[in-house]
Structure 1
Amino acid sequence: MTLKATLIVAGLAASTATGAIAQDMVGGVTYGPRPFYLIDRMADGPLKEKLASCMAQTPSATKFSIGHRGAPLQFPEHTRESNIAAARMGAGILECDVTFTSDLELVCRHAQNDLHTTTDILASDLAGKCTAPFSPADGDTNAAAECRTSDITLAEFRTLTGKMDAANTRGTTVAEYMDGTANWRTDLYSVQDGQLMTHAESIALFDALGADFTPELKSASVDMPFNGFSQADYAQKLVDEYVAAGIDPSRVWLQSFNLDDVKYWVENTPEFGAQAVYLDDRYEASDDDEGLIDPNDPATFKPTMQELANMGVRYIAPPMWMLLTLDDSGNMVASEYTKAAQEADLGIITWTLERSGPLTTGGGWYFQSVAGATDTDGDYFTILNALHEEAGVVGVFSDWPATTTYYANCMGL
């Protein structure tokens, strides 16, 4: 059985037992209007015709569709509301980025030091505990703040509410600084409090929603060990919370940008390590610049894909632009990076669709390698199709999972 088939079969089997609960909680899967809006804006051709032919299909959850922090295109990320929205859009796998509080409790935040942009901490009584309290914009100096989960206890964390991840760096007051949501997102669904979650609470919620799990162990903003809490303790505690909840390891895709974390899971928690995902950020320069990777130059793949596989890595997850390039005719095709991963029999997952706004100007960082072929929002489907057919990905993170769900349902994934 292929990695892709194993992923789908395991997910379907795991979701059966909780399907009734999921129906009660989310009211069934729905696409909403966005996939149809995108199809309308596609260039005429076979792909548009295929997708249009599926407009009457019945929406269903799929492991191909992964909720990236829930559905943060419009909902405050890593909140209960954001993840329920993602499940309602058919995301079969949901993500909790995992960091820790000052009393070493695991919570869902994209970064240990993002509370000032993702919550109301600056407007709360906890503002004085921030690593760097708010300082207003003054002349050429931007407004700034830094608030970490490790600045506060779990009890204090629970008093915060989620907001859209944004900051107005020209703000001269806390209220102005907190009001920075991009004009292509919305604050409509953050008017009422967004409920933050611990990692354990995310496990319970995702399980009740019938979804599987892809927790990401985040790099700490504090020096490790922290109060005696080592990186190994951190990696192990994440796994322990799934064990305590009675979750089958086949439903969990642990993630980390730190290859040593993945190797720890492979060596010390092999049932979970078998599906651990190496998030590949070797496109960023390391301290000695030896980590840079060119997706179309295999000589820069250090370690090589086969070396990663020999370490026990079975899944790799780079950003979308590393997987695709344009051929001489302007078609999206697999990069050399993708071909090497395929040759090493690595399952490929990628991120993040609908993260960077409208595609009318090329789509920004996530689409940089195919910007010459993206000029309409309809091209979200064009790149999804290329990721499926050319790169053979087994899952796609999205900030609005309905789009990926619609594509997967139409293509029978």
Structure 2
Amino acid sequence: MKVPLVIAHRGVPGHRLEHTRPSYLLAIEQGADFIEPDVVSTSDHILVVRHENEIDGTTDVAERPEFADRKATKVVDGVSHTGWFTEDFTLAELKTLRCKERIPDLRPKNVALAGTEEILTLDEVLDIAEDAGGEAPVGVYIETKHPSYFEALGISLNDLLIETLERRGFNDPDSTIVIQSFESANLRALRPRTPAMLVQLMSVEGQPADFTVAGDARTYDDLRSDEGLAFVAEYADAIGPYKELVVAPDSGPTRLVERAHAAGLDVHIWTMRNENTFLPPAFRMGTEKLAHGDARGELLQFFDAGVDGVFSDFTSTAVQARSQWLQSH
């Protein structure tokens, strides 16, 4: 039986600040198969790990008077954002900032951790995975954020990523590296450059940003058709759909896993979380939105649906649910 992967979504943000060293270390301690960094670029073309290139929500940059003049309004993938952006800072400048909780209203226990951790580079996350050692090496599941946007700035996330993997000896068939993106063109360009597993992420609505740039009318819904899955299978090894595309809260399992498998694609869903506010009504316990519901029960239904991997904000919950599922199969 193929054992579903547990992918630590930005580490364990349910208990630690996302994308920080303690978050990744806890994920490894709790048994994650992969740790996941999102990567964006600095002005000096270094890949750093942040949820977005706009960093007001995840760092103390707004409280730093020396960077007040860096505040800007930019359009990223068609959406206007006002704040501070990684591409306007050198790595040395970003290293002076400290991380904070991105969703304080939903993760209040993490608020007190603000100011304790610095922004990591991709190299540092690779170090964390390497240092974990053990018989089963921890993989690194990398998401390139907004590659078309960065390409328009003259920064190729693909080039920076391949350079890093080559330099570190990770760009070979035996390394446990996965690369994912919501865009398609960058994954297609990566295919001849790396043996790493490539994953086409899929939102419920909209279309890949590179399709918008190219005037391609196809949407994520089109990519989930049989024809679309065959197209994705030409360059990717798996799809990463939002969880409700696999098991709909109101109608149960869809046929997406079955159809993806028929096209030769694995399915890794995002994102499993323990809090009631993120759970379908059937798995909530009580009425408090921050209280933890039956997240293990929700995970079991996705394992039953045949998914090949799950992204989780709570690694231990996903590992425990997988163990329970394997014991019953």
Residue 303 of structure 2 is aligned to residue 381 of structure 1: no
Gaps of 5+ in 2: 74-80, 286-291
Q: Is 2:99–2:114's contact at 8 Å kept on the other side of the alignment?
A: no
Residue in 2 aligned with 1:358?
276
Residue 61 of structure 2 is aligned to residue 121 of structure 1: yes
Out of 250, 266, 289, the residue aligned to residue 347 of structure 1 is: 266
Q: Is 1:79–1:195's contact at 8 Å kept on the other side of the alignment?
A: yes
Out of 126, 131, 134, the residue aligned to residue 203 of structure 1 is: 126
Q: What pairs with 1:179-198 in structure 2 (closer than 5 Å)?
A: 181-187=104-110, 190-198=113-121
- Kindly state the Cα deviation for residue 409 of structure 1 after the two structures are TM-superposed: 2.6
Q: Is 2:178–2:199's contact at 8 Å kept on the other side of the alignment?
A: yes
- Aligned equivalents of 2:314, 2:142: Cα separation in 1: 18
Residue 206 of structure 2 is aligned to residue 284 of structure 1: yes
- Kindly state the Cα deviation for residue 282 of structure 1 after the two structures are TM-superposed: 5.5
One-letter amino acid of the counterpart of residue 374, structure 1: F
Q: What pairs with 1:9-28 in structure 2 (closer than 5 Å)?
A: none
Residue in 1 aligned with 2:325?
411
SS at match of 1:254: strand
Q: Is 1:93–1:213's contact at 8 Å kept on the other side of the alignment?
A: yes
SS at match of 1:279: strand
Q: Is 2:179–2:199's contact at 8 Å kept on the other side of the alignment?
A: yes
One-letter amino acid of the counterpart of residue 386, structure 1: Q
Residue in 2 aligned with 1:169?
none
One-letter amino acid of the counterpart of residue 12, structure 2: A
Out of 224, 228, 239, the residue aligned to residue 304 of structure 1 is: 228
- Aligned equivalents of 2:187, 2:148: Cα separation in 1: 19
- Kindly state the Cα deviation for residue 285 of structure 1 after the two structures are TM-superposed: 5.3
One-letter amino acid of the counterpart of residue 344, structure 1: A
Q: Is 1:74–1:185's contact at 8 Å kept on the other side of the alignment?
A: no
Indicate the RMSD between aligned Cα atoms, in angstroms.
2.8
- Kindly state the Cα deviation for residue 380 of structure 1 after the two structures are TM-superposed: 1.4
- Aligned equivalents of 2:152, 2:106: Cα separation in 1: 40
Residue in 1 aligned with 2:184?
259
Residue 56 of structure 2 is aligned to residue 149 of structure 1: no
**Does the C-alpha gap of structure 1 residues 254 and 299 become closer, same or farther in structure 2, counting only changes over 3 Å?**
closer
Gaps of 5+ in 1: 9-62, 134-143, 167-180
Q: TM-score, normalised by structure 1?
A: 0.66
**Does the C-alpha gap of structure 1 residues 126 and 279 become closer, same or farther in structure 2, counting only changes over 3 Å?**
farther
One-letter amino acid of the counterpart of residue 238, structure 2: Y
- Kindly state the Cα deviation for residue 96 of structure 1 after the two structures are TM-superposed: 1.1
SS at match of 1:103: coil
One-letter amino acid of the counterpart of residue 283, structure 1: E
Q: Is 2:238–2:267's contact at 8 Å kept on the other side of the alignment?
A: yes
Out of 212, 227, 242, the residue aligned to residue 139 of structure 2 is: 212
Q: Is 2:12–2:26's contact at 8 Å kept on the other side of the alignment?
A: yes
More displaced stretch, 192-201 vs 371-380: 371-380
- Kindly state the Cα deviation for residue 93 of structure 1 after the two structures are TM-superposed: 0.4
SS at match of 2:12: coil
- Kindly state the Cα deviation for residue 183 of structure 1 after the two structures are TM-superposed: 4.6
Residue in 2 aligned with 1:14?
none
CA deviations over 1:207-260 (Å, ceiling 9, x no partner): 21241110111105956342x43xxx3213212212211235440011111111
Q: Is 2:226–2:259's contact at 8 Å kept on the other side of the alignment?
A: no
SS at match of 2:33: strand
**Does the C-alpha gap of structure 1 residues 293 and 256 become closer, same or farther in structure 2, counting only changes over 3 Å?**
closer
Residue in 2 aligned with 1:234?
157
**Does the C-alpha gap of structure 1 residues 326 and 117 become closer, same or farther in structure 2, counting only changes over 3 Å?**
closer
Q: Is 2:203–2:241's contact at 8 Å kept on the other side of the alignment?
A: yes
Q: What pairs with 1:304-343 in structure 2 (closer than 5 Å)?
A: 304-309=228-233, 311-325=234-248, 332-333=252-253, 335-343=254-262
SS at match of 2:162: helix
CA deviations over 1:119-154 (Å, ceiling 9, x no partner): 111112443243339xxxxxxxxxx94110011111
**Does the C-alpha gap of structure 1 residues 411 and 236 become closer, same or farther in structure 2, counting only changes over 3 Å?**
same
Residue in 1 aligned with 2:71?
131
**Does the C-alpha gap of structure 1 residues 129 and 251 become closer, same or farther in structure 2, counting only changes over 3 Å?**
farther
Q: TM-score, normalised by structure 2?
A: 0.82
CA deviations over 1:174-229 (Å, ceiling 9, x no partner): xxxxxxx1154423551451132111111111221241110111105956342x43
Tell which structure's C-alpha radius of gyration is larger.
Answer: 1
Q: Is 2:180–2:198's contact at 8 Å kept on the other side of the alignment?
A: yes
Higher strand share: 2
- Kindly state the Cα deviation for residue 95 of structure 1 after the two structures are TM-superposed: 0.9
Q: Is 2:99–2:115's contact at 8 Å kept on the other side of the alignment?
A: no
One-letter amino acid of the counterpart of residue 347, structure 1: D
- Aligned equivalents of 1:326, 1:74: Cα separation in 2: 26
- Kindly state the Cα deviation for residue 405 of structure 1 after the two structures are TM-superposed: 1.1
Q: Is 1:99–1:218's contact at 8 Å kept on the other side of the alignment?
A: yes
Q: Is 1:317–1:349's contact at 8 Å kept on the other side of the alignment?
A: yes
Q: How many residues align?
A: 303
**Does the C-alpha gap of structure 1 residues 303 and 109 become closer, same or farther in structure 2, counting only changes over 3 Å?**
farther
